[in-house]
A and B are shown apart, each in its own frame.
Chain A
């Protein structure tokens, strides 16, 4: 019995180590990074999921919005607007890999904001969108 207990303990520890090494950050930590960045902006009053949702679903330039590819339901699978390539769900509740790698997050915000807004997104916008995505349930 004791041995069985020790073995299962080992499983739990190993699983914990694996989980930690797989994801460098959690979405909450990422939100904190955006907050630290946005705090330097005059008039910053925190993030709003409501504002993030509006931003996500509003068409900006070129008749594009975030939801053009990610759909109006970020917990669902999306589709690239040009190539139809499947895009995995964006909401962390539906896809645990999302918002766990700062480098990847920075790259995709930069690229997609440039496509949709012809500019990079502000920390306020990124924080609002993430705050919204964190409210989306599976």
Chain B
């Protein structure tokens, strides 16, 4: 069978189509971290996206220190009121990913508690000093807006939160 250029092009197109349909979609994003943190490429892991991201925004690893992530991941059976247990392989893969990309800045996540010598690791990003400082200009009525519902609902204002982009450019506060 002799093939002319047109046929070869067609076959190549088919090959490309088939290949692109079968390769798992890699999570690629050029989104940057918070504006004042300097450019940080968004990191991702397919398991983290599919498991953590099923019920809420897959909260970026950089927003909590490693000890917090270890505490979250070892207590999934009591995960903020829900039993979110995962199989052991998923737990270990996601924990490793979170630890590797965790917040390493000192003090940014300390609990401002009184006379606390050894604070427990924070489990909520919203309780970190960093989060409170970043959101200090957010009005009380905005937090209470039913469209926002919970400070855990990043996507209510950070319209590109799902792609890991929390920059101010993507912020649109619902009214």
Contact = CB atoms under 8 A, between A and B. Distances in A.
A18 interface: yes
A21 B22 CA distance: 8
Interface in A90-126: 111, 114-115
B21 interface: yes
Given A18-B18, A84-B155, A111 B82 contact: yes
B47 interface: no
A6 B10 CA distance: 11
A91 B57 CA distance: 23
Interface string A8-36: 00110011011001100000000000000
Given A3-B7, A7-B14, A14-B14, A83 B1 contact: no
A83 B153 contact: yes
A7 B153 CA distance: 49
Interface residues on B, range: 20 to 34
A82 interface: yes
Interface residues of A, number: 19
A26 to B, nearest CB: 19
Nearest to B153: A84
Interface in B126-170: 149-150, 152-153, 155-156
Interface in B1-44: 1, 3, 7, 10-11, 14, 17-18, 21-22
A11 B11 CA distance: 9
A84 B156 contact: yes
B55 A83 contact: yes
Nearest to B152: A83
B123 to A, nearest CB: 15
Contact of A85 (B1, B55, B85): B55
